[in-house]
Amino acid sequence: MKDHYRYARGGFTLVECTAAMLVLSVAVLAVVEAISVAQSHPYEALHTLRAHALAEALADEIIALPYADPQGGTTVGPDSGETGRANFDNCDDFDGFADSAGALADAQAITYSTVYQRFNRSVTASYGTESIAGLGGTTSGLTITVTVTDDLGRTWVVTRFITEPAS
């Protein structure tokens, strides 16, 4: 009878199998979580890059326009008859401008691809002075702020100070 028990105990018990499955499932969950986190970082970086690209593109479009209004206007924002982006003729005309998600377009009115359509853009412009060491003190100019917001409410801001041209 002793030989029978010695040879019959060749496998694992139910408790040992359950413990092994528990340890294995915890290890698999840890690996899956690590992979998931590792994959989200490049996506977030790309998302931020897209937001900054949209802000920089609009800021570049704005600063490419003349500083002074060709019609001589001195108020911030669009002048009479400047009903849209295509009619803006100087930098401060963009004050209050906004692009909505799903309708973002570049300076030539070409719609951005769908990966950019999760964002909104808005612009503020204000005249003031800035102390710029390289220019030897305080100078007058226009501060342009482009704010990009995504569908989750996260924001990215690009600010540019445009110095007033010398008379």
pLDDT in tens, 109-163: 999 999 999 999 999 999 999 887 777 788 899 999 999 999 999 999 999 999 9
pLDDT at 57 over 90: yes
The range of the structural domain enclosing residue 18 comes to 2-163
This prediction's pTM: 0.74
66 vs 70 pLDDT, higher one: 66
Distance between CA atoms of residues 119 and 147, nearest Å:
10
Report residue 15: phi and psi, to 5°: -65, -45
pLDDT on residue 45? 87
Please state the domain count of the chain.
Answer: 1
Distance between CA atoms of residues 27 and 19, nearest Å:
12
Note the pLDDT tens digit of each residue in 92-115: 999 999 999 999 999 999 999 999
Tell me if 95 sits within 8 A of 76, measured CB to CB: yes
Q: Which of 167, 163, 149 is nearest to 67 (CA)?
A: 163
Report residue 50: phi and psi, to 5°: -65, -40
Distance between CA atoms of residues 15 and 19, nearest Å:
6
Strands (E), 51-119: 98-99
What is the helix (H) or strand (E) element at residue 163, kind and residue range? Answer: strand 155-163
pLDDT on residue 8? 55
Distance between CA atoms of residues 54 and 121, nearest Å:
8
- Across the chain, mean pLDDT equals 87
pLDDT above 90: percentage of residues in the chain: 49
